[in-house]
Amino acid sequence: MPLETFPPPAGLNAPEQVHITQGDHNGRGMIISWVTPINDDGSNIVKYWIATSDKSTNLSAEASTTSYRYHDYTSGFLHHATIKGLEYDTKYFYELGTGRSTRQFSFTTPPKVGPDVPYTFGIMGDLGQTYASNQTLYHYMSNPKGQAVLFVGDLSYADDHPNHDQRKWDSYGRFVEPSAAYQPWIWAAGNHEIDFAQWIGETQAFKPYMYRYHVPYRASQNKYTPQNSWLESELKKVNREETPWLLVLVHSPWYNSNNYHYMEGESMRVTFEPWFVQNKVDIVFAGHVHAYERSERVSNIKYNITDGLSSPIKNPSAPIYITIGDGGNIEGIANDYTYPQPSYSAYREASFGHAMLEIKNRTHALYTWHRNQDDEPVVADSLWVKNRYFLPEEDETLSGNSRD
Ligand SMILES: [Fe+2]
């Protein structure tokens, strides 16, 4: 969609590109992010209050403010404020901006952590900002069930435009605001966030993304260490008696039978897959491939170079791998599958769409994939997912809507 589709909001120095994400480990913190053209008095303040309370009792937090240059572009002022000590399962209003440019938003905090607490995620990836992206986003938003979004990377696709046109990061921020300002989007970074372009002197990888999209890595109480040590310590912290579901977001899929990006996730798979099986991860969501695919529960961790055991095998302790890179970006659909369909691949389809994961309790979650075909969100693949920690041996059952 052209830049003009997403004008900035009206008013002098109006806050824009508002988005929120989880701000702590337990769900009592929220990171509020927004952009203003000028760094004026008060433009870095977020006021917030419980929806049922009197606004005059409001609390406020101050953002850290930065801006960045990229080639011939200078960003607006990028504000990120973490608000803490929120009540569980409570609707809050929050307000940004000053005077007549004030804008008000709201969010609802997640329920108190517990083993049988229902919660529903939307899942999207590789979204971009095309008309197909728009359809994906609004299909997701038209479903009132989604409480937070798991996003598997590749956001704006600014890097597909001349000199990584940074205005595309701004238009993307405006595009997703109708959802991202009202519920947390949990971001994973993809290759389109790298923005490395040495021919225009831009050699700081992930610069625009890191300035614009803060994530709660400090909540994990790690330094910004390499992925390996972070993941090793993070997995140990998960108490499945308290939070039964273990979901992982990566960008490149590990089990992918599409010729696009075939085997690109292989080195990561070899490194981390044994931990995922050992820790009985329930589902791994990936993007990168612009199509949809769901795997069987398989693993490929026995191979030691000489034993010949190099094929994936069914393994009840292994996660289900889902490729959901079908948000609808400018690069189009990846419709070039390998044939025959390998046995690890349970369902695959080259259509745009999004998914939902409705966690019902400690043992069951309903997973559905909604493709954009037919101009309305159609459920084309669905599955009752059995929790690997509480029901380690049970096979999943296809729910009634599934076509295969
Ligand atoms: Fe990608």
The pLDDT value given to residue 376: 66
Sequence-ordered strand ranges (E) for 166-263: 185-187, 247-249
CB-based burial of residue 307 (10 Å sphere; 0-12 exposed, 13-18 middle, 19+ buried)? Answer: exposed
Q: ∠ CA(120), CA(212), CA(331), 5° rounding?
A: 75
Q: How many A from CA of 305 to the centre of ligand 1?
A: 29
Catalytic annotation, pick one of 261, 288, 290, 370: 261
Q: How many A from CA of 205 to the centre of ligand 1?
A: 15
Q: How many A from CA of 126 to the centre of ligand 1?
A: 7
In 3D, which of 212, 210, 187 has the Cα closest to residue 75? 212
Q: How many A from CA of 68 to the centre of ligand 1?
A: 24
d(CA 238, CA 390): 14
Q: How many A from CA of 286 to the centre of ligand 1?
A: 9
Query: Could you tell me if 105 and 182 are in contact, meaning their C-beta atoms sit under 8 angstroms apart?
Result: yes
- The secondary structure of the chain in percent helix, strand, coil, rounded to multiples of 5, reads 20, 30, 50
**φ/ψ (deg, to 5) at 46:** -110, 130
The pLDDT value given to residue 403: 45
The pLDDT value given to residue 353: 95
Q: Could you report the average pLDDT of every consecutive run of 10 residues in the chain (404 residues)?
A: 95 97 94 97 96 85 97 98 96 95 97 95 98 96 96 98 98 98 97 97 97 83 72 94 97 97 93 96 98 97 86 96 96 95 96 97 97 78 97 85 46
Q: How many A from CA of 288 to the centre of ligand 1?
A: 3
Helices 227-237 and 266-278 pack at an angle, to 10 degrees, of 20
- All residues at 6 or more sequence positions from 134 whose CB lies less than 8 Å from its CB, including other chains: 1, 175, 328
| 3 state SS of 154 | coil
List helix spans (H) across 216-357.
227-237, 266-278
Indicate the pairing of strand 77-83 with strand 64-66. antiparallel
Q: What is the pTM of this model?
A: 0.93
Q: How many A from CA of 198 to the centre of ligand 1?
A: 20
Indicate the pairing of strand 73-74 with strand 103-108. unpaired
Instruction: Specify which residues 364 forms β-bridges with.
Output: 386
Sign of CA dihedral 283, 284, 285, 291: negative
d(CA 244, CA 117): 10
Domains of the chain listed by start with CATH number? 114-155+213-398 (3.60.21.10)
251 is catalytic: no
The DSSP output letter for 35 is E
| 3 state SS of 345 | strand
Q: How many A from CA of 158 to the centre of ligand 1?
A: 13
Sequence-ordered strand ranges (E) for 164-300: 185-187, 247-249, 283-286, 292-295, 298-299
| 3 state SS of 108 | strand
In 3D, which of 288, 252, 246 has the Cα closest to residue 269? 252
CB-based burial of residue 100 (10 Å sphere; 0-12 exposed, 13-18 middle, 19+ buried)? Answer: exposed
Q: How many A from CA of 8 to the centre of ligand 1?
A: 28
CB-based burial of residue 134 (10 Å sphere; 0-12 exposed, 13-18 middle, 19+ buried)? Answer: middle
Quote the distance between the C-alpha of residue 178 and its chain's center: 16
Q: How many A from CA of 319 to the centre of ligand 1?
A: 21
The pLDDT value given to residue 55: 79
Where do we find the tokens 């790298």? 194
Q: How many A from CA of 370 to the centre of ligand 1?
A: 21
Q: How many A from CA of 252 to the centre of ligand 1?
A: 7
